[in-house]
Amino acid sequence: MTQHSALSTQHSRRVALVIQYLGTDFHGWQRQPRHRTVQEEIEKVLSEIMNRSVTLYGAGRTDSGVHASAQVAHFEATGYIPPEKWANVLNARLPKDILILASAEVNPPWHARFSASYRRYRYTLYTDRQPNLFVRPFAWHYYYQPLDESLMQATLNPLIGKHDLAAFHRARSSRSHSWVEVQAAECYRYGPFVHIELQANGFLYGMVRLVVGLLVQVGRGERSQDNFTNLWVNRLRSEVRYAAPAHGLCLLRVGYPEFPFPREVWFDRQPKFVITH
């Protein structure tokens, strides 16, 4: 073993990152051939700094166009950069649509994906009839007719618990089953903005956007609450035809029993719009 490799091994540390990104110009989180992804952009910088191939392990995968306010990932660091300094080092080299909020050392077997107890997503709808350029990248401008957020909340309530949600399981998923433990499901309004938040131990590929696409049909009176529930209880995937646009969705946070970051770093980091008339 050379002196360089011995030193690198001696100083190997597992480093966790809290990551924000604007999903607009990304083809999702996961590395893919011929497409720009968040994982690849960060791995490229890490590999350049450490002069070796580096794999970044994320807490979950976001689809093309989906944002994240507190994604979590980890990698194996070698060399002499202190774990808490990696955020600044990476931010100096990463593109402007990725920001590392914080970095810290974690001890194996802590794993960004397998140690997580939940993921939470927020979907934002903008219901004002007047368009707004500053809202457009982060909300579905849904002005077709009013939405009843109280009815939408009542429709979400039966989702709490562990269910087979094959009705919300899109094709191209590598998951072997459709069982999901939904821990929280909320729909609430701030002025012209309707927010839908779902928290679960894990999510099916495309699940949140399919739920929202169906739920707005309930909110506008086109579909009944009982019909919504019947679709997922009976796993009627063929009846769930429309997914909400990706740009309204944000991976809000990931939760862990043990997490090295203070609450202000990772909790509820997506700002809410406030518009008054």
Report CA-CA distances (Å) from 234 to 166, 168, 211: 9, 11, 15
**Residue 36 CB neighbour total at 10 angstroms:** 14
In three-state secondary structure terms, 210 is helix
Q: Which of the following is catalytic: 25, 63, 97, 268?
A: 63
Dihedral sign for Cα atoms in the order 55, 58, 63, 67: negative
Contact 146, 126 (CB under 8 A): no
Contact 67, 23 (CB under 8 A): yes
Q: Hey, what are 67's tokens?
A: 């944002």
Is 63 annotated in the active site? yes
In three-state secondary structure terms, 118 is strand
Q: Environment class of residue 42 by beta-carbon count within 10 Å: exposed (0-12), middle (13-18) or buried (19+)?
A: buried
Annotated catalytic sites, by residue? 63
